[in-house]
Amino acid sequence: MASLGEEASDQIKVKILAQDSWTKVSCPCCVSDRVEPLVLIWLTDKVQPLTRKWLISLIEDSKRHGGAALLAHPGDDECGDVIVVSASRCNLLKATEDLGLCKKYQDGDMIPFSYQDRDNFSNVDDMTEFLTLAERQYIVKNELDSLQAQKKQKIPGIGDATGVLQAWENVCQKLVKAGVIKDIFPLHDQQKLKELGKKWYSGKQIWGQPLDEIHSYFGGTVAYYFSFLDFYTWALVPSAFLGLFLTFLMPGGGSSVELGDVEDDDGPSVSGHMVQAVFSMLWSTLFMEFWKRRSSSLSYRWGTLQLSEGFAEPRPSFHGTLGINPVTGRMEPLFPEWKRQLRVGLVSVPIVGLFMGLVVLGMTGFYYGEALAKGFHQDSDSWFSKGLLYLPSMVHIVYTNMLGNVYSTVAMQLTEWENHREESSFQNHHTTKVLLFTFINNFAVLFHIAFYKQDLPMLRKRLVSLLILTQLLNQFTEVVVPFIVDRFLSDPQKDQPEDEIEGDQLRAQTSLPPYPGLFSEYIELLLQFGYLSLFSSVYPLTAVFLLLNNVTEIRGDSYKICKLFRKPFSAPVSDMGVWQTAFEVLGFVSVMSNCWLLLLSPRVQEFCLEGGISSKNILLFAILVEHVLILLKMILAFMIPDEPDWVRIKREQMEFHSMQALVRQKL
Amino acid sequence: MASLGEEASDQIKVKILAQDSWTKVSCPCCVSDRVEPLVLIWLTDKVQPLTRKWLISLIEDSKRHGGAALLAHPGDDECGDVIVVSASRCNLLKATEDLGLCKKYQDGDMIPFSYQDRDNFSNVDDMTEFLTLAERQYIVKNELDSLQAQKKQKIPGIGDATGVLQAWENVCQKLVKAGVIKDIFPLHDQQKLKELGKKWYSGKQIWGQPLDEIHSYFGGTVAYYFSFLDFYTWALVPSAFLGLFLTFLMPGGGSSVELGDVEDDDGPSVSGHMVQAVFSMLWSTLFMEFWKRRSSSLSYRWGTLQLSEGFAEPRPSFHGTLGINPVTGRMEPLFPEWKRQLRVGLVSVPIVGLFMGLVVLGMTGFYYGEALAKGFHQDSDSWFSKGLLYLPSMVHIVYTNMLGNVYSTVAMQLTEWENHREESSFQNHHTTKVLLFTFINNFAVLFHIAFYKQDLPMLRKRLVSLLILTQLLNQFTEVVVPFIVDRFLSDPQKDQPEDEIEGDQLRAQTSLPPYPGLFSEYIELLLQFGYLSLFSSVYPLTAVFLLLNNVTEIRGDSYKICKLFRKPFSAPVSDMGVWQTAFEVLGFVSVMSNCWLLLLSPRVQEFCLEGGISSKNILLFAILVEHVLILLKMILAFMIPDEPDWVRIKREQMEFHSMQALVRQKL
């Protein structure tokens, strides 16, 4: 698979799946020459043909009978461990309306798709044009996820107690638990992937990414991540220039030119320091505000301005006693809100607090151990004691890593146990937990050095080593290692001749590891953003390093998602979700941090002492400045509209038209 | 009029308006025995019968012909300076749907009224039951306000250039400008007013107000004000108890018992001080959060949960070049957003800033003048110099008053000139301007004493005098003076015999002054809330004074609005609007203020010095405490849901049903 990109042939010769094995469709408009394979259900080896047949019939069955009304194909080969799934045109169109996706109307505007009015939308006859690949695959996944047992029943071919489906139990989830389904994932389209790769990471186009193509191939969440990465990288340019200017051209700033030399100087001059702090505060505000504008115009372009989350089904793993939902009147599992809040308040919050305490404890232990080791070394001064000097930081690294691993499991299980009904609520709670920990874990030491030890040269040293080391390490583990594994160590099966049968080719995608998700990517960006906005006034070159890092990060991430993993599902979304909030909160913390860093800067202190200002008055002044800056930041954020005028007008037009339509229907 | 309440007779004997002078209605369901007079248009004396006739025909004309489709009555007397307006049943029902008001469905739930489905709503045959008096009057006002000239035309009976209506010009506004209309106001219903007064202010019921009756008679904004006042008064009870406890029972707190003695002691003890500060912070947060919950349940009860502001007509005084609104496609005046923002940013903001600067300048001048006068008095010590001592504060009072008067005119004109399209946007900008000034004007001196002079005994003295004096003054000017004027000095015409003709009785309401609006009432509450939440830790008895004040304030305000003024129009609203934000912002400022007051308290300082803590470390500690408290406040505000569970479920039910209805209509 992965070696396809390097071959010269533009045509990929594959025999397609036997057409007549697909589910037959009765609806005349859904009949087509070729059914496009969209999603692969990968079964385990031990699955009985009986179970497989039952699953296929469930997928094909009409919704009235509790099926998903999708098209299924058993695969053309003998081993029969896959089911290929697709969807008919009518189904796709109806799902488009349910999702609230906007599509291009005949007059060129994007408006919410209406099935009744379908003939007035552009490209409605060709599903591959009308919906993006990612949207088609997401719709199929959605339909599969909504499969529920109509009544209590046994799964054919599974003997023991694991094979009993309760009424209203989620079928796919049950099958995963029962060891029938290994994974469900969307299929790559090699032709398109190759075209995308050419535009994206292989070569000429260094500035800019093909965002629309990324959105169309990988879908909303992925496209938003790369758009944000793109926007962020560009936004770093002015910061980087300022950093270069302050470091190399500013009078008095020259002393911190050399990297190895950071420990001796006391940083940029007072005015440079202040310029950097104020700039940093302004920059982080403007950055987020303009990203919101960018985000809303992307949302219009990608038709997600009016997504109807509506009254979604509960998430698959939500459980509770069966009852009638007071809002929708539907039969579904119910779980009282107060019980969830009790769980969050009495269990989750203390446990998260405990882990954060453990991080701080670890840090304290490290400093204590370091002091001990130093004392011991000074007393004995042997080879052994020299070795001991490294012990505390090694123990600390191991401790931190283990804690991080344990915590990520705990956070996931706690959130699962909180039993959120909506996926968005689940995501918010999970992300918040992880973010709090990550934030403490990564910034505690820096804050400790900055505000407790008040040792700015050490802060600078630490920041530089973090910037350089962690970035190199990240790039290495994220891209280089998987690349080597992929290229030299992986499954020889992948180098088969290209004119294989499509079914085999599709199954071959199971040999790739599953995509680990965007969570860690966002965390990485957030940490970076933290280094920059919280501490860059100590080391103005931060932005330069981040800029360099991001340029390679874009290539690395894109290569990774295209070549090294299974394609992920990606929902249509209208923004970055909870991550946007996380970045904004960090922006607020940055104002405080910059204020106090400024105050602590030895040059500022010196300057004030020379001017005969008492340290108490400096402190009072700093408090005043902090409050005024936060006020300014809030006013600035309030003054800049969150969406450009043209998007606002488009959105209001949509709202007005839907209101008008409602009135017309009433008359 | 005003003396009616005191009379024993329950029956008010009036001859009603001649039935046959009302506009004839053609719609069979709108014919009724008696048309209820809702709104009075009060014309000036010089109006020509021709103009009056034209206006009546315009009010009666169908909407297709540019009329308001209301019912008009020329009044039964000779002088002909009033037009009484009412509305037919069909019109009222259609307007109810347009407003998005919720009404009781046959199953007892409140759901958005639908004209098509009208027969399934309770009381739909009796408009006086179905809609409240205030709602009916608001609908009539709305219809009158939407009267626009269809084309350029002359107003009959007005000779000069003032009598030319431009196309799309607002008719009522033009007529006010041209001196035809003096005022348009809703009519009191004496019978109902008397009943309301009995329950509200005259006597037995000291605890609680008849909020539903107030809402039904006076309407949304007024009812929200009194509900808030009510809620606020109850919320003061725990604060008052704590204050009493800290002052009289706390060990060490006894020294500040006597009011006259406040200057000598140094306030409550350290622990008492801290208890008060932390309590104050918690209280202000909980108060606002629980008010939001209360507010949303009131909104459900009063049917305003789903108000459709929709795409309203521009406000009457909005002007611009005629063009096509890109959103609605309607012909209307357009005014570019960027131009408005330029006006706000380049003119309004600097002018508001200038006035705030003038306040600060006045304060500085006052302190300077006071120091000068004191110096002079010490030097000369004569009667003249003793008189001079009072000069600075007298000049300052006059200056502040003049500045306030000039500013209120300037604020109104600036906001008018900013040319806001929507009424809500206008209100927000106007209120923000006034609030900023009021805040600075009232709290600048207190902040100066607290944080610049750091003179807590003086702060306490000032606070006590403000609490007592301004409250007495307010009650006096707001209630006592109008009462005396009303009772002894006003128009003898009002003491006419009671069996007068209804028309005369209605016209008699023109002799009352127009209601000044709730703006100043809210400001008064906000200032109170400010004294309490910002500075009460200095003087714990604040809450007791406010509680006493509020109990009389409720009676005073209710008597005032019932008896002393014309009835005001009051829109259906779902919350307090911009005032809610104002109270919340003040809550945030209060956290900071309490932290710093705590720090400055001489006992705390003494305590720290005894403990050997440097003042720099105290300061650092205070910063930490402030940030932690703000974080806590935000978490608390986030954790408490803004609406009770039952309201959330009702709201979601409404949303779900309207979504279902949409889907059903599509199929």
Quick: pLDDT tens for B191-221.
888 888 888 877 666 667 888 889 989 988 9
Has residue B415 got a pLDDT over 90?
Answer: yes
pLDDT of residue A495: 47
**CB contacts < 8 A (A, B):** 51
Q: For residue B640, what is the nearest residue in chain A, using CA coordinates?
A: A341
Has residue B543 got a pLDDT over 70?
Answer: yes
Taking residues B336-358, report their average pLDDT: 89
| Helix (H/G/I), strand (E/B), else coil: B431 | helix
Identify which of B619, B652, B656 has the shortest CB distance to residue A619. Answer: B619
Cα distance between residue A638 and residue B581, in whole Å: 14
What residues of chain B lie within 8 A of the CB of A666, using their CB?
114-116
**CB neighbour list of residue B506: distance below 8 Å, 6 or more residues apart:** B17, B37, B40, B75, B82, B84, B187
Q: For residue B452, what is the nearest residue in chain A, using CA coordinates?
A: A620
CB atoms within 10 A of CB A376: 15
Give A217's DSSP letter.
H
**Mean of per-residue pLDDT scores for chain B:** 80
pLDDT of residue A224: 93
- Residue B504 dihedral angles phi and psi, to the nearest 5°: -65, -45
Whether chain A has a CB inside 8 Å of the CB on B612: the answer is: no
Q: Please, where are the H alpha helices in A21-132?
A: 49-60, 89-99, 127-130
Angle between helices A220-244 and A270-301 (to 10 degrees): 160
Shortest Cα distance from B545 to chain A (angstroms)?
Answer: 31
Structure confidence at residue B291 as a pLDDT band (50, 70, 90): very high
Exposure of A471 in the CB half-sphere (CA atoms within 13 A):
21
The A residues from 398 to 417 touching B (CB cutoff 8 Å) are none
**Mean of per-residue pLDDT scores for chain A:** 80
Cα distance between residue B430 and residue B423, in whole Å: 11
Taking residues B312-335, report their average pLDDT: 78
Whether chain A has a CB inside 8 Å of the CB on B378: the answer is: no
A589 closest CA partner among A632, A547, A626, A644: A626
Taking residues A184-212, report their average pLDDT: 80
| Helix (H/G/I), strand (E/B), else coil: B332 | strand
Does the complex come out with an ipTM higher than 0.95? no
Whether chain A has a CB inside 8 Å of the CB on B623: the answer is: yes
pLDDT tens per residue across span A633-642:
888 888 888 8
Cβ atoms B39, B569 nearer than 8 A: no
Task: Specify the higher pLDDT residue, B419 or B74.
Answer: B419
pLDDT of residue B256: 42
Identify which of B116, B337, B615 has the shortest CB distance to residue A666. Answer: B116
What residues of chain A lie within 8 A of the CB of B662, using their CB?
662
Find the Cα–Cα–Cα–Cα dihedral B559, B562, B564, B569, rounded to 10°.
130
Whole-angstrom CA distances from B138 to A7, A254, B303, B503, B627 are 75, 71, 15, 21, 46
Exposure of A579 in the CB half-sphere (CA atoms within 13 A):
23
In terms of residues, how long is chain A? 667
Shortest Cα distance from A626 to chain B (angstroms)?
Answer: 11
| Burial of B421: CB neighbours in 10 Å, binned 0-12, 13-18, 19+ | buried
- Check B627 against A327: CB less than 8 A apart: no
pLDDT of residue A361: 92
Taking residues B24-43, report their average pLDDT: 78
Q: For residue B660, what is the nearest residue in chain A, using CA coordinates?
A: A328
Shortest Cα distance from A479 to chain B (angstroms)?
Answer: 39
Q: Please, where are the H alpha helices in B448-564?
A: 456-465, 471-475, 481-484, 502-508, 519-535, 542-559
Structure confidence at residue B662 as a pLDDT band (50, 70, 90): low
Q: What is the 3-state secondary structure (H, E, C) of A533-568?
A: HHHCCCCCCHHHHHHHHHHHHHHHHHHHHHHHCCCC
| Burial of A185: CB neighbours in 10 Å, binned 0-12, 13-18, 19+ | buried
Structure confidence at residue B261 as a pLDDT band (50, 70, 90): very low
- Check A337 against B627: CB less than 8 A apart: no
Q: Hey, which bits of B91-245 come out as E strands? A: 102-104, 110-112, 153-154, 164-165, 181-186
Cα distance between residue A131 and residue A127, in whole Å: 6
Q: For residue A616, what is the nearest residue in chain B, using CA coordinates?
A: B616
Whole-angstrom CA distances from B545 to A220, B11, B240, B253, B555 are 58, 41, 8, 18, 16
Structure confidence at residue A18 as a pLDDT band (50, 70, 90): low
Residue identified by tokens 């004109």 is B413
A490 closest CA partner among A564, A567, A568, A566: A564
Shortest Cα distance from A97 to chain B (angstroms)?
Answer: 10
Interface mutation target, options A114, A325, A327, A629, chain B, most CBs of B under 10 Å: A327
Angle between helices A270-301 and A615-639 (to 10 degrees): 20
How remote is the C-alpha of A38 from its chain's centroid?
A: 23
pLDDT of residue A205: 62
pLDDT of residue B380: 81
Has residue A391 got a pLDDT over 80?
Answer: yes
pLDDT of residue A116: 80
| Helix (H/G/I), strand (E/B), else coil: B77 | coil
What residues of chain A lie within 8 A of the CB of B665, using their CB?
665
pLDDT of residue A657: 78
Interface mutation target, options B343, B595, B623, B624, chain A, most CBs of A under 10 Å: B623
Mark residue A144 as left, alpha or beta (left: phi above 0; alpha: psi -120 to 50; beta: remaining).
alpha
Structure confidence at residue B295 as a pLDDT band (50, 70, 90): very high
Identify which of A310, A656, A662 has the shortest CB distance to residue B311. Answer: A656
Q: With 0.95 as the threshold, say if the pTM is over it.
A: no
Has residue B634 got a pLDDT over 60?
Answer: yes
- Check A659 against B310: CB less than 8 A apart: yes
Taking residues B38-50, report their average pLDDT: 83
- Check A645 against B328: CB less than 8 A apart: no
Whether chain B has a CB inside 8 Å of the CB on A326: the answer is: yes
Q: For residue B312, what is the nearest residue in chain A, using CA coordinates?
A: A656
pLDDT tens per residue across span B69-128:
888 887 766 667 888 888 888 888 888 888 888 888 888 888 888 888 888 888 888 888
What residues of chain B lie within 8 A of the CB of A620, using their CB?
619
pLDDT tens per residue across span A534-568:
887 778 888 888 888 888 888 888 888 888 888 88
Residues B353, B354, B360, B363, CA torsion sign: negative
Task: Specify the higher pLDDT residue, B97 or B298.
Answer: B298
- Check B115 against A666: CB less than 8 A apart: yes
Shortest Cα distance from B72 to chain A (angstroms)?
Answer: 28
Q: For residue B662, what is the nearest residue in chain A, using CA coordinates?
A: A662
Counts of helices then strands in chain B (DSSP H, E): 24, 10
- Residue A165 dihedral angles phi and psi, to the nearest 5°: -90, 125
pLDDT tens per residue across span B459-517:
888 888 888 877 777 777 766 776 777 666 655 444 444 555 565 667 677 778 888 88
Give the end-to-end CA distance of chain A in Å, rounded to a whole number. 59
Task: Specify the higher pLDDT residue, B641 or A205.
Answer: B641
pLDDT of residue B354: 94
Mark residue A149 as left, alpha or beta (left: phi above 0; alpha: psi -120 to 50; beta: remaining).
beta
- Check B666 against A623: CB less than 8 A apart: no
Structure confidence at residue A370 as a pLDDT band (50, 70, 90): confident
Cα distance between residue A354 and residue A373, in whole Å: 28
The A residues from 210 to 239 touching B (CB cutoff 8 Å) are none
pLDDT of residue A78: 64
pLDDT of residue A251: 60
| Helix (H/G/I), strand (E/B), else coil: B374 | helix
Has residue A579 got a pLDDT over 80?
Answer: yes
Whether chain B has a CB inside 8 Å of the CB on A344: the answer is: no
What residues of chain A lie within 8 A of the CB of B620, using their CB?
619
Taking residues B280-293, report their average pLDDT: 89
Has residue B305 got a pLDDT over 80?
Answer: yes
Structure confidence at residue B269 as a pLDDT band (50, 70, 90): low
Taking residues B584-591, report their average pLDDT: 86
Q: Which two tokens stand for residue A62?
A: 């009409």
Whether chain A has a CB inside 8 Å of the CB on B638: the answer is: no
| Helix (H/G/I), strand (E/B), else coil: A221 | helix
Q: Which two tokens stand for residue B363?
A: 């304060």
Ranked by mean pLDDT, the top range of A107-116, A522-531, B508-517 is A522-531
B236 closest CA partner among B479, B467, B416, B61: B467
The A residues from 91 to 130 touching B (CB cutoff 8 Å) are 114-116
- Check B327 against A627: CB less than 8 A apart: no
Whole-angstrom CA distances from B653 to A173, A424, B296, B297 are 29, 20, 15, 15
Cα distance between residue A436 and residue A415, in whole Å: 14
Has residue B368 got a pLDDT over 80?
Answer: yes
Whether chain A has a CB inside 8 Å of the CB on B259: the answer is: no
Task: Specify the higher pLDDT residue, B227 or A279.
Answer: B227
Whole-angstrom CA distances from A179 to A44, A141, A222 are 7, 19, 29
Identify which of B116, B592, B653 has the shortest CB distance to residue A327. Answer: B653
Whole-angstrom CA distances from B594 to A223, B162, B636 are 47, 58, 18
Shortest Cα distance from A624 to chain B (angstroms)?
Answer: 11
- Check B649 against A327: CB less than 8 A apart: yes
DSSP output for A154-211? EPTT--SGGGEEPTT-BHHHHHHHTTSEEEEEEPP-HHHHHHHHHHHTSSS--S---H
Give B501's DSSP letter.
B
- Check B659 against A116: CB less than 8 A apart: no
Cβ atoms B250, B268 nearer than 8 A: yes
Ranked by mean pLDDT, the top range of A65-69, B67-71, B288-292, B476-480 is B288-292
Taking residues A578-587, report their average pLDDT: 88
- Check A659 against B615: CB less than 8 A apart: no
Cα distance between residue B386 and residue B378, in whole Å: 9
Task: Specify the higher pLDDT residue, B569 or B178.
Answer: B569
Cβ atoms A174, A85 nearer than 8 A: no
Give the end-to-end CA distance of chain B in Å, rounded to a whole number. 59
- Check B616 against A615: CB less than 8 A apart: yes
- Check A652 against B616: CB less than 8 A apart: no
Whether chain A has a CB inside 8 Å of the CB on B346: the answer is: no
- Check B327 against A649: CB less than 8 A apart: yes
Exposure of B623 in the CB half-sphere (CA atoms within 13 A):
20
Q: Which two tokens stand for residue B271?
A: 């622990």
Whole-angstrom CA distances from A603 to A253, A266, A276 are 12, 7, 14
Taking residues B304-311, report their average pLDDT: 72
Q: Which two tokens stand for residue B387?
A: 């008189």
